[in-house]
Structure 1
Amino acid sequence: MLYKPIPKRGRTGTLVVRVSPSDRLKALVRFGPVTFQAALGRGGVTAFKREGDGGTPQAAMAVLSGFRRGGMLTPDRCGLSLQRAGSSDGWCDAPGHAAYNRHVRLPFAVSHETLVRDDVLYDFGFVLDWNIRSRRRGMGSAIFLHVAKPGFPPTQGCIALKRGDMLRLMPLLRRGTIVRVA
């Protein structure tokens, strides 16, 4: 496939995520004139997101922040400062806990996700505003835009792009960029 640069005028645009017509667990992500493949949650896209359902929320979610695995260099011209995630970084997914859907320090006594993994998923990630600013218990947590595993297997509810596609998008992502799952 020929490399198509993403035009600079799309810098504050919207990433539009549409379910693939051939597989409800995959998506086509469009940013300006460029389209990428992506993996969606194992529960497909849902308008009624609940904790643990594996669904990708049907919503317009702002990019709030970004993170990178410790030891990974932030690509030049990254549009958002990426926080370094180390072995003590996690994300609480226990609806009954006060830190639900928040970054936590490990070790952490209740259910959580570890942000440093043995696979590539969280080499680079962006926190999307799903159930964060207006948080409700049990409505889903840890919805990120992150790197996909080879072959695009389903996520736990996130949107996952091929590493090279993520690197192409990173200079254009800003705090407040909208990721619209249709």
Structure 2
Amino acid sequence: MRLKLRKAAIPAGIITVRPKPGSRTRALVSFSGRTEEAAIGRSGITARKREGDGATPIAAMRLIGGYVRQDRVTQPPTALPLRFTPEKLLWCDEPRHALYNRPVHAPFKPSHEKMRRDDGLYDVCLVMDWNLRSRKRYGGSAIFFHLAKPGYPPTEGCVAVSLPAIKRLLRFMRRGTVVRVVR
């Protein structure tokens, strides 16, 4: 089911993610004159992203859209295309499978991420164009912009912020907004 979007007259813009000084797994996310705290991959950032390495890729990744758990979060205003997260939505992270780094639906036996997580991390989950349009096997999958756990523990390679921060960010975001991870 597609959500009705509030149109905003905003440019695509750039969101910059840079490591927080003194921390390998925390970052600062800057956009539209604001800075927010974030968690990044357990292995820090890398220019050589590989499946399962736990690193956040150094890259400029366009936002494509995302998912919202309507049973847990009120959909914030945004021009970014968002959909309600279907019950059986999964994300294939098996590099040898034809649907690698693509959304799939349960039942699905190959390795995958569950998109309706019990821990709430994907209650708001934004899809970035990392290894999507021109997929490379073992190039990394499911690199999302999502919610952080309290205390900002490391992710598996995603960028994660608090719920209030993602609501502020969503006002700024639209399809084509670039999330730029830098050193």
TM over 0.5: yes
Point out where structure 2 has 5 or more consecutive residues left out of the alignment.
1-7
Question: How far 1:160 sits from its partner (Å)?
Answer: 0.1
Pairs within 5 Å for 1:24-39? 24-39=24-39
Q: Give the corresponding residue for 2:121.
A: 121
Question: How far 1:125 sits from its partner (Å)?
Answer: 1.1
> What is the aligned-residue identity percentage?
50
Deviations 1:97-120 (A, max 9, x none): 000000000110100000001112
Q: Give the corresponding residue for 2:163.
A: 163
User: Is 2:149 aligned against 1:149?
Assistant: yes
One-letter code aligned to 2:74:
L
Distance 1:159 1:171 in 2: 18
User: Is 2:99 aligned against 1:74?
Assistant: no
SS of corresponding position for 2:24: strand
One-letter code aligned to 2:125:
G
Contact 1:90 1:115 in 2 (8 A): yes
Point out where structure 1 has 5 or more consecutive residues left out of the alignment.
1-7
Distance 1:70 1:102 in 2: 22
Pairs within 5 Å for 1:42-121? 42-71=42-71, 72-75=73-76, 77-121=77-121
Contact 2:32 2:172 in 1 (8 A): no
Contact 2:64 2:81 in 1 (8 A): no
Question: How far 1:35 sits from its partner (Å)?
Answer: 0.3
Distance 2:107 2:167 in 1: 31
Change (3 A) 1:11 1:35: farther
Distance 2:50 2:81 in 1: 30
Q: Give the corresponding residue for 1:3.
A: none
One-letter code aligned to 1:73:
T
Change (3 A) 1:93 1:100: same
One-letter code aligned to 1:74:
Q
Question: How far 1:12 sits from its partner (Å)?
Answer: 2.4
Contact 1:68 1:74 in 2 (8 A): yes
Q: Give the corresponding residue for 1:180.
A: 180
Q: CA RMSD in A?
A: 1.4
How many residues matched? Answer: 174
Q: Give the corresponding residue for 2:131.
A: 131
SS of corresponding position for 1:24: coil
Question: How far 1:10 sits from its partner (Å)?
Answer: 6.7
SS of corresponding position for 1:29: strand
Contact 1:10 1:32 in 2 (8 A): no
Distance 2:52 2:158 in 1: 12
Higher deviation after alignment, 65-74 or 40-49: 65-74
SS of corresponding position for 1:23: coil
